């Protein structure tokens, strides 16, 4: 299967294999071929939804330290920034998410895959609104939400008022209209097509919303009892069962802060990074159609421990880019 690109394989060998497959399929084109192998990266350099600029630096940090990403044949298609005005964060977020969603929509339509790098987790509203509308003609979007939190507040239930605590509710169609009506007026996700993994810190209002909607939540307790491998596989089945494709929204705070310190809102008792990476192997069977990694906070990292984990996760996520299979 062409999307199963082994890590550390010689790049030329990989190209030869893919050229052969393209020739065989009759889609061989001598020019402009290699551009198709670039994994599209969309950066969202904003911490506006967290009220903390810290995690807004991640895309710029990765862009500037391209040696970290040398194993990934990628291209930054855009890096988004939040405007300084107006003062109202909802207005600024809404403008930002509209721009992200438009770009993500275009990129997904043409490439069939992308990796979005936040930023605080509110950027998920832009990313997944774009992906959901891009695949709408084929069906609904499923989403795996890997996070220590539920991120399912509405302005009425949120104590902090921070928008990065609201993106999943907004994508389900609940909350301020400036967040729920990005690109289109309809909800971007149906509750039965969503699963959360790694949750261990939440408030009653958001939990009540998800419970009422019947969203499947794999709390950390269940993950520990059953193992992340089994849970990931089951969750993947939920989000892919009735959908045209599913995405993965990965919040770095899902990881245990002892093993990954560089996140904005650390919560003890999280996922083991090695076990999580190993659990992604179930995606090869049915690959995601987009991937998002958020909430990396450089200022809180130690010796780039979390940055290096983020890079390994992005490497793995890049393996699912179906660049060659699209041309069949
Ligand atoms: Mn989150």
Task: List, in sequence order, every residue forming a beta bridge with 81; answer none if it has no partner.
Answer: 45
How many other CB atoms are there within 10 angstroms of residue 20's CB atom?
Answer: 11
Task: List residues with catalytic annotation.
Answer: 121, 147, 149, 151, 164, 251, 253, 295
> pLDDT per residue over 233-279, tens digit each?
999 999 999 999 999 999 999 999 999 999 989 999 999 999 999 99
> pLDDT per residue over 154-172, tens digit each?
999 999 999 999 999 999 9
> pLDDT per residue over 276-316, tens digit each?
999 999 999 899 999 999 999 999 999 999 999 999 999 99
Distance from the alpha carbon of residue 295 to the mean position of ligand 1, in angstroms: 7
Task: List, in sequence order, every residue forming a beta bridge with 42; answer none if it has no partner.
Answer: 78, 116
> pLDDT per residue over 197-232, tens digit each?
999 999 999 999 999 999 999 999 999 999 999 999
Tokens of 41: 């990266």
Separation of CA 37 from chain center: 20
Comparing C-alpha atoms, which of 41, 34, 35 is closest to residue 15?
A: 34
Residue 4 has pLDDT above 60, yes or no: no
Domains and CATH numbers, the chain: 3-7+38-327 (3.40.800.10)
- Give the confidence band of 36 by pLDDT, cuts at 50, 70, 90: low
CA dihedral sign, ordered 218, 221, 226, 227: positive
DSSP letters spanning 172-187: TT-S-HHHH-SSSSS-
Distance from the alpha carbon of residue 88 to the mean position of ligand 1, in angstroms: 22
Residue 102: strand, helix, or coil? helix
CA dihedral sign, ordered 173, 179, 317, 311: negative
Distance from the alpha carbon of residue 30 to the mean position of ligand 1, in angstroms: 43
| Mean pLDDT value across residues 78-90 | 93
Cα angle vertex 198, ends 228, 234, to 5°? 45
Whether the model pTM is above 0.75: yes
Distance from the alpha carbon of residue 199 to the mean position of ligand 1, in angstroms: 10
3-state secondary structure 248-261: EEEEHHHECCCCCC
């Amino acid at each position: 299967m062409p999307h199963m690109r082994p890590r550390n394989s010689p790049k030329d060998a990989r190209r030869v294999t893919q050229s052969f497959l393209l020739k065989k399929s009759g889609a061989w084109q001598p020019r402009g071929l290699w551009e198709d192998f670039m994994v599209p990266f969309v950066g969202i350099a904003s911490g506006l939804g967290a009220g903390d600029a810290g995690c807004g630096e991640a895309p710029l940090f990765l862009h500037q330290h391209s040696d970290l990403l040398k194993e990934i044949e990628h291209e930054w298609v855009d890096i988004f920034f939040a405007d300084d005005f107006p003062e109202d964060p909802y207005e600024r977020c809404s403008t930002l998410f509209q721009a992200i969603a438009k770009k993500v929509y275009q990129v997904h339509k043409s490439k069939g895959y992308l990796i979005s790098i936040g930023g605080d987790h509110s950027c998920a509203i832009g990313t997944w609104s774009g992906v959901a509308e891009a695949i709408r003609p084929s069906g609904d979007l499923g989403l795996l939400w890997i996070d220590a939190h539920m991120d399912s507040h509405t302005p009425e239930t949120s104590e902090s008022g921070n928008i990065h605590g609201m993106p999943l509710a907004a994508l389900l169609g609940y909350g301020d209209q400036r967040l729920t009506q990005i690109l289109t007026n309809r909800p971007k996700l149906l509750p039965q097509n969503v699963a959360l993994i790694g949750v261990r810190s939440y408030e009653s209002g958001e939990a009540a919303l998800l419970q009422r909607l019947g969203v499947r939540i794999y709390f950390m307790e269940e993950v520990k009892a059953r193992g992340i491998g089994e849970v990931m596989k089951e969750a993947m089945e939920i989000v892919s069962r009735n959908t045209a494709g599913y995405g993965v929204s990965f919040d770095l705070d899902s990881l245990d802060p002892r093993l990954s310190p560089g996140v904005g809102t650390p919560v003890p008792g999280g996922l083991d990074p090695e076990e999580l990476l190993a659990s992604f192997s179930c995606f090869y069977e049915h690959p995601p159609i987009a991937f998002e990694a958020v909430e990396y906070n450089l200022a809180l990292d130690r010796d780039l421990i979390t940055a290096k984990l983020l890079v390994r996760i992005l490497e793995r996520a890049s393996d699912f880019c179906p660049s060659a299979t699209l041309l069949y």
